[in-house]
Chains A and B, each alone.
Chain A
């Protein structure tokens, strides 16, 4: 938990006035002290005040202190609070201390036995036993090794990706645990990341594995895919992780569910996107507020460190811009670090760093190093693994390497080490190493070799020149380095403004401008219609019919057409992405319908470009769909200040009248309430 006052808050528990006084005088000016004089008070204050540390002295009768220590250590909240046991051994009452039998069962971060000769020396005594120092080391122990590694400029952070398998007791899980143990012993890896239902297939849950990894002393990084969990499930998973002390998460959209689910393809959830997930995390970090029994409750803040993904390796201007605009929103939402998608073009990796620099975003980037064998490369080359880019040239090189006696293993590791060097040289904060059947020794090899190469990274860039045919780069090429200048390149994309788009724009400007006279005139009518159930239903029906014909509307009631240039993200995007494209698009096609349907964000970009408005794409964060509004008229919801657009524009709901969604509850209540 973050300290708010800047000073550590320490709860002092003890029944002896001498003890409380001694602590008060010797520590009072350094920390904020809270006092509890008996077991009950101690326990309840530890729970409600959540101090940074607890000093547990003697409590009457003998043995009580030990009992309380047990309860604190067993408590859900209190087990996370550093506990320091203090025996103030007064000569006239030697028994007022822990017995050695109790001490054998002591589970405390430290113990102090203090014999006061004279009161004046007490504070010195306290210092001499290093009490304050101990408290502060305990406090800093809560620091996050991954976060420290990412933020420390002298450390190049390395994370190693593990892929849990399907099943509870399979070899894949054993491998993961073995790798973690090796990594923990080796000491070169800052975190182990565990993918979340990789490839959209069910697998042992990342949160379970990560909690296990945490216990083994390694820092885990939980992948959190928005594919299989709705916002409540995400929140609840996060609470579980917080309680286990797992704080690092990587928020991503997730591949589309695979058809290998039980009895067929599972329902894709995609309730909230990564942008809103990061917002959720940040809200939790500040202390999430909610209503319980009509009272405002503020939850204890969590301490998550959330990163996001981005792919600079996209081919089309539209695709790439959809990535960068979404990244912008992720950063604004509070993302703390970035991990890139799989790609091997050094200029593209540099482009991301340059883009961040030009936009003055100070956020660390971790470069993805996927140790690429020939087979996987062929798959990636043909869009077999969503979002991973391997060009023909690279495949050809790998085909050559695969002919070697070791089937190209040493060449793969060498390539990975070179990417490591390039990433480090370019100014990435770390590397995210992944690959199938990788051992710790290989990872360590990459690190060692990579470090060797780093001083010479610029000469390696030429080896990683893998442009896609007609691929778009955000910046002009820097011919000296083979990387990028900071001059934005001219767009190559052909705009396209279909008739329906032109029509929708006009209709929108006329009907949905909150400052127009039309709006002011129609709003009272909207209010009235809202109270006439039949008319309301008719309007809803009409709206749905028209919008279904024009946009494939699903009648979500929280319309985001306007946010995506009138391409409905709820019905036309299989992942319901309301804030920008997922990472899976391929040459402009949707991940789920390659060569069939264009990604909605690609379409939106083309449309906006027809009006020279492409830079407005993703200007603001779109809130997740409010399912309160499901199957209601979005027009009414806009006019009556209920949908996300109304909220953004500051359209207030009219004076509290029972809303459509509260129909059931409200009629029930008023029926009873009426005299």
Chain B
């Protein structure tokens, strides 16, 4: 359990997002992950990010696990009812996948199957509660299990919250910690100042915070996120920097390196590198961060 021990020891952990394929050809995913397996502490396998159909996170995590890498399986409340969720948790643990990251899941309206029925049979906090219960040897209905799973649990936190929303966010964070969450992944972070209100009030000792470091690939992408995602703020100067870059690709990776390095200096729990399709650039970035 490399991730757990890193975080327990208070060392800077590197998470890398590895989206499973849309299809069954896992060769690119495996090749990209293999190239950096020594340097990455765990690979986060998303559960159909943005409600776009892909191979399940359980499947993806299993494949990485087989290749000797440590996965973090994401689990969202969107697509499964309580039966299916528990079943998958049991399966994961039995297969040796012990890191999980519990999320709510984006609306199906964002995705490529917008006619799909969103499930949300249980909410995020309930799901966390279930995970605790399972570990104590009981299912959600209180019936005993033969052999109980073990999990190292993470979740998400909206570090961009301010004012009233921030109160609620911190409250929820406490609840999540009570329900056994040990690390929190934040939305993409580009500028520490933008999450200042959160940082001022959060007690970082209680749960390790691992901000997402998103690779911006084009000015268009950056502007889209800045404009449409209220959890993310991208400073204008950064967009300008991309705009004026002579070597755009290089500049993009440089920004990731700089952000991740700052996080390390500032004593965050780690960095969650999200390279959205440019996973082949991970070696270069890790080199830059000095991992």
A complexed with B: yes
Give the interface of A toward B (CB within 8 A): 63, 83-85, 95, 98-101, 103-113, 137, 184, 215-218
**Contact between A101 and B112, CB atoms less than 8 A apart:** yes
Give the interface of B toward A (CB within 8 A): 49-50, 52, 106, 109-112, 114, 217-225, 227-229, 243, 245-247, 250, 276-277
Instruction: Compute how far the CA of A35 lies from the CA of B26 in the bound complex, rounded to whole angstroms.
Output: 41
Given A101-B49, A137-B243, CB of A106 within 8 Å of CB of B111: no
**Contact between B219 and A110, CB atoms less than 8 A apart:** yes
**Contact between B220 and A104, CB atoms less than 8 A apart:** no
Can you sample 8 A-B contacts with CB below 8 Å?
A: A85-B224, A99-B111, A100-B229, A106-B224, A107-B221, A108-B221, A111-B222, A217-B250
Chain A, residue nearest B274 (CB): A104
**Contact between A217 and B276, CB atoms less than 8 A apart:** no
Chain B, residue nearest A105 (CB): B277
Closest Cβ–Cβ distance, residue A576 to chain B (whole Å)? 40
Chain A, residue nearest B245 (CB): A217
Closest Cβ–Cβ distance, residue B152 to chain A (whole Å)? 28
Instruction: Compute how far the CA of A105 lies from the CA of B215 in the bound complex, rounded to whole angstroms.
Output: 11
Interfacial chain B residues near A103, Cβ < 8 Å: 220-221, 224-225, 228
**Contact between A109 and B246, CB atoms less than 8 A apart:** no
**Per a CB cutoff under 8 Å, which of A63, A99, A113 touches B50?**
A99
**Contact between A108 and B220, CB atoms less than 8 A apart:** yes
**Per a CB cutoff under 8 Å, which of A95, A98, A100, A215 touches B247?**
A215
Given A100-B229, A101-B112, A109-B219, CB of A218 within 8 Å of CB of B224: no
Closest Cβ–Cβ distance, residue A177 to chain B (whole Å)? 13
* Residue among B112, B219, B224 with most chain A CB within 10 A: B224
**Per a CB cutoff under 8 Å, which of A63, A98, A216 touches B224?**
A98
Given A113-B227, A113-B228, CB of A104 within 8 Å of CB of B276: yes
Instruction: Compute how far the CA of A95 lies from the CA of B115 in the bound complex, rounded to whole angstroms.
Output: 12
**Contact between B111 and A101, CB atoms less than 8 A apart:** yes
Instruction: Compute how far the CA of A216 lies from the CA of B245 in the bound complex, rounded to whole angstroms.
Output: 11
Instruction: Compute how far the CA of A107 lies from the CA of B52 in the bound complex, rounded to whole angstroms.
Output: 19
Instruction: Compute how far the CA of A111 lies from the CA of B217 in the bound complex, rounded to whole angstroms.
Output: 13
**Contact between A106 and B218, CB atoms less than 8 A apart:** yes
Closest Cβ–Cβ distance, residue B67 to chain A (whole Å)? 25
Chain B, residue nearest A84 (CB): B220
Instruction: Compute how far the CA of A218 lies from the CA of B246 in the bound complex, rounded to whole angstroms.
Output: 7
Interfacial chain A residues near B220, Cβ < 8 Å: 83-85, 103, 106-111
Instruction: Compute how far the CA of A215 lies from the CA of B247 in the bound complex, rounded to whole angstroms.
Output: 7
**Contact between B110 and A108, CB atoms less than 8 A apart:** no
The 4 closest A-B pairs by CB, nearest first: A108-B220, A217-B246, A217-B247, A111-B223
Given A110-B219, A111-B223, A111-B227, CB of A95 within 8 Å of CB of B114: yes
Chain B, residue nearest A145 (CB): B246
**Contact between A184 and B247, CB atoms less than 8 A apart:** yes
**Contact between A105 and B276, CB atoms less than 8 A apart:** yes
**Contact between B218 and A109, CB atoms less than 8 A apart:** yes
Interfacial chain B residues near A111, Cβ < 8 Å: 219-224, 227
Instruction: Compute how far the CA of A107 lies from the CA of B50 in the bound complex, rounded to whole angstroms.
Output: 19
Interfacial chain A residues near B245, Cβ < 8 Å: 217
Closest Cβ–Cβ distance, residue B256 to chain A (whole Å)? 14
Instruction: Compute how far the CA of A99 lies from the CA of B109 in the bound complex, rounded to whole angstroms.
Output: 9
Instruction: Compute how far the CA of A98 lies from the CA of B52 in the bound complex, rounded to whole angstroms.
Output: 13
Closest Cβ–Cβ distance, residue A21 to chain B (whole Å)? 22
**Contact between B221 and A104, CB atoms less than 8 A apart:** yes
Closest Cβ–Cβ distance, residue A560 to chain B (whole Å)? 46
**Contact between B218 and A113, CB atoms less than 8 A apart:** no
**Per a CB cutoff under 8 Å, which of A95, A100, A112, A215 touches B223?**
A112
Instruction: Compute how far the CA of A216 lies from the CA of B109 in the bound complex, rounded to whole angstroms.
Output: 40
**Per a CB cutoff under 8 Å, which of B221, B247, B250 touches A106?**
B221
Chain B, residue nearest A112 (CB): B223
Chain A, residue nearest B224 (CB): A103
* Residue among A85, A103, A110, A112 with most chain B CB within 10 A: A103
| Inter-chain pairs besides A101-B50, A103-B225, A106-B221, 16 sampled, C-beta below 8 Å | A63-B112, A98-B224, A100-B110, A100-B225, A100-B228, A104-B50, A106-B217, A106-B224, A108-B220, A110-B219, A110-B223, A111-B221, A111-B227, A112-B223, A216-B247, A217-B245
Chain A, residue nearest B250 (CB): A217
Instruction: Compute how far the CA of A310 lies from the CA of B222 in the bound complex, rounded to whole angstroms.
Output: 49
Instruction: Compute how far the CA of A63 lies from the CA of B52 in the bound complex, rounded to whole angstroms.
Output: 12
Instruction: Compute how far the CA of A184 lies from the CA of B254 in the bound complex, rounded to whole angstroms.
Output: 15
**Per a CB cutoff under 8 Å, which of B49, B218, B247, B250 touches A107?**
B218
Chain B, residue nearest A137 (CB): B243
* Residue among B106, B217, B228 with most chain A CB within 10 A: B228
Interfacial chain A residues near B247, Cβ < 8 Å: 184, 215-217
Instruction: Compute how far the CA of A635 lies from the CA of B129 in the bound complex, rounded to whole angstroms.
Output: 101
* Residue among B112, B221, B243, B246 with most chain A CB within 10 A: B221
Interfacial chain B residues near A63, Cβ < 8 Å: 112
Closest Cβ–Cβ distance, residue A448 to chain B (whole Å)? 22
**Contact between A100 and B276, CB atoms less than 8 A apart:** no
Given A109-B218, A113-B228, A184-B246, CB of A101 within 8 Å of CB of B110: yes
Closest Cβ–Cβ distance, residue A97 to chain B (whole Å)? 8
Interfacial chain A residues near B114, Cβ < 8 Å: 95
Interfacial chain B residues near A100, Cβ < 8 Å: 50, 106, 110, 224-225, 228-229
**Contact between B246 and A113, CB atoms less than 8 A apart:** no
**Contact between B219 and A108, CB atoms less than 8 A apart:** yes
Chain A, residue nearest B109 (CB): A95
Instruction: Compute how far the CA of A99 lies from the CA of B111 in the bound complex, rounded to whole angstroms.
Output: 7
Instruction: Compute how far the CA of A101 lies from the CA of B225 in the bound complex, rounded to whole angstroms.
Output: 11
Interfacial chain B residues near A85, Cβ < 8 Å: 220, 224
Instruction: Compute how far the CA of A84 lies from the CA of B228 in the bound complex, rounded to whole angstroms.
Output: 16
Closest Cβ–Cβ distance, residue A110 to chain B (whole Å)? 5
Instruction: Compute how far the CA of A85 lies from the CA of B218 in the bound complex, rounded to whole angstroms.
Output: 12
Closest Cβ–Cβ distance, residue B106 to chain A (whole Å)? 8
Closest Cβ–Cβ distance, residue A346 to chain B (whole Å)? 35
Chain A, residue nearest B51 (CB): A101
Instruction: Compute how far the CA of A109 lies from the CA of B223 in the bound complex, rounded to whole angstroms.
Output: 10
**Contact between A108 and B218, CB atoms less than 8 A apart:** yes
Instruction: Compute how far the CA of A101 lies from the CA of B109 in the bound complex, rounded to whole angstroms.
Output: 12
**Contact between B112 and A107, CB atoms less than 8 A apart:** no
Closest Cβ–Cβ distance, residue A319 to chain B (whole Å)? 42
Instruction: Compute how far the CA of A113 lies from the CA of B228 in the bound complex, rounded to whole angstroms.
Output: 8
Instruction: Compute how far the CA of A95 lies from the CA of B247 in the bound complex, rounded to whole angstroms.
Output: 34
Chain A, residue nearest B114 (CB): A95
Given A111-B227, A113-B228, A184-B246, CB of A101 within 8 Å of CB of B219: no
Closest Cβ–Cβ distance, residue B168 to chain A (whole Å)? 23
Instruction: Compute how far the CA of A104 lies from the CA of B50 in the bound complex, rounded to whole angstroms.
Output: 10
Interfacial chain A residues near B111, Cβ < 8 Å: 99, 101
Closest Cβ–Cβ distance, residue A143 to chain B (whole Å)? 13
Closest Cβ–Cβ distance, residue A303 to chain B (whole Å)? 18
Interfacial chain A residues near B246, Cβ < 8 Å: 184, 217-218
Closest Cβ–Cβ distance, residue B172 to chain A (whole Å)? 23
Chain A, residue nearest B227 (CB): A113
Closest Cβ–Cβ distance, residue A102 to chain B (whole Å)? 9
Chain A, residue nearest B277 (CB): A105
**Per a CB cutoff under 8 Å, which of A107, A137, A218 touches B217?**
A107
Closest Cβ–Cβ distance, residue A392 to chain B (whole Å)? 45
Interfacial chain B residues near A112, Cβ < 8 Å: 223, 227
Closest Cβ–Cβ distance, residue A271 to chain B (whole Å)? 36
